[in-house]
Amino acid sequence: MKKRALSVLLAAAMVSTMLAGCSGGSSDSSSASADASATDGNVVKIGVYEPASGDNGAGGKQETLGIQYANYVTPTVEIGGTEYTVQLDIVDNESSNDKGPSAAAKLVGDKVSVVLGSYGSGVSIAASDVFKEAGIPAIGVTCTNPQVTEGNTHYFRICFLDPFQGTVHANFAKDKFNAKKAYVLTKLGDDYSTGLGYYFTQAFEALGGEVVAETFQEGNSDFTSYITSAKKAGADVFFAPSSTEAAALIIEQAAAQGLGMPILSTDTWDSNVILNAAKGKDLEIYVTTFYQEGANEEFDAGIKEWINSDSTAKANNGGDDTVSGLTVMGYDAYYTALEALKAAGSTDPAAVNEALWNVDYTGVTGHITFNETGDANRDTAY
């Protein structure tokens, strides 16, 4: 199936929810099967390509939790009339574009049938050719940059895209705050961060707004000068799409300096890391995300019980049982992979790749089908 150039409808509707209070070379790679024994019978391997360390380690762990919980709930799948145990093969891409391909190669060597991940568009793009050359399809969970699926037929994703997400924020800034000037802070060399900065700027300027933009470098921990710049510029909103690690520092320093304007950010800030960092601070923080806790009480109750029963799961969720949209998307991605395996009637990656185009699945986060680029047909954010 051929893909055409990406076209995104930027006028789609959105609901924005304020968070209360504010709201990897694979030397560390490992395999897990989430209570599913792989020692006997037929086994199908699903690769989990996610960061467990580095800037995006916290988000990657939460995304992986959703996949593991889904595997706990549904540890087997019927493929071509035969029941298979589903084994999760988990590797750490270390949040690194340089080390990601090695982690991806580990999954190729392990002969997985399909890959889930990654949290982080840059590491997804970095590993894409490894999966392409091996003929293994990948399903992005929350990697929102258009380049992930652009120009290939093996990478799919179940999330909305950055042109949509950036535009949602631009409209929100204008409609909610009557913002005329926005300060945009992005991370240099980060496809996700710079892409969102670009899409927000493009949309905000089209609405008649003015943008003051700056970038910070890898490893930066002092954001005081950027906060000062935003205040001096007279900005009405502070847009900062970044990793959770940088977010916690931005929040701490923004509160200390009395930022005095709402902070807007994207799906990476949907985390209890952000909630905890903002607790007790006089800040307004608004984020876009894929799922709002409370939207499905039965799901929330089940995964909370599972997280609280497992100390490792709880630690990987930041030490509590908050339900992140990342986790719910991981859960839905697992079932999307199962649907493709069932439709393919085979564990052969090529057959799974072909079957993915026609997957039609309704998950916790909504209805999942794919368009001509392999992107999900989604037009709503929370």
Write out pLDDT tens, residues 178-188: 999 999 999 99
Show the DSSP H helices in the chain as ranges. Answer: 57-73, 100-109, 121-134, 162-177, 191-206, 224-233, 244-257, 272-278, 297-308, 311-316, 325-344, 349-356
pLDDT at site 163: 94
Please say if the pLDDT value at position 6 is more than 60.
no
Contact 158, 114 (CB under 8 A): no
Q: Model confidence at 380, in pLDDT bands (50, 70, 90)?
A: confident
**150/148 Cα distance (integer angstroms):** 6
- Residues 219-275: tens digit of each pLDDT: 899 999 999 999 999 999 999 999 888 999 999 999 999 999 999 999 889 888 888
Contact 157, 141 (CB under 8 A): yes
For residue 184, the cross-strand partners are: 213, 239
Instruction: Give CA separation, 97 vs 62, 120, 187, in Å.
Output: 20, 10, 14
**Can you say how many angstroms the Cα of residue 176 is from the centroid of all Cα atoms in its chain?**
25
**Which pTM value belongs to this model?**
0.81
Selection from 229, 228, 196, 199 nearest residue 212 by Cα: 229
Selection from 56, 62, 47 nearest residue 95 by Cα: 56
- Residues 276-333: tens digit of each pLDDT: 899 999 999 999 999 999 999 999 999 999 999 999 999 999 999 999 999 999 999 9
Collapsing DSSP to helix, strand or coil, 228 comes out as helix
Q: Model confidence at 200, in pLDDT bands (50, 70, 90)?
A: very high
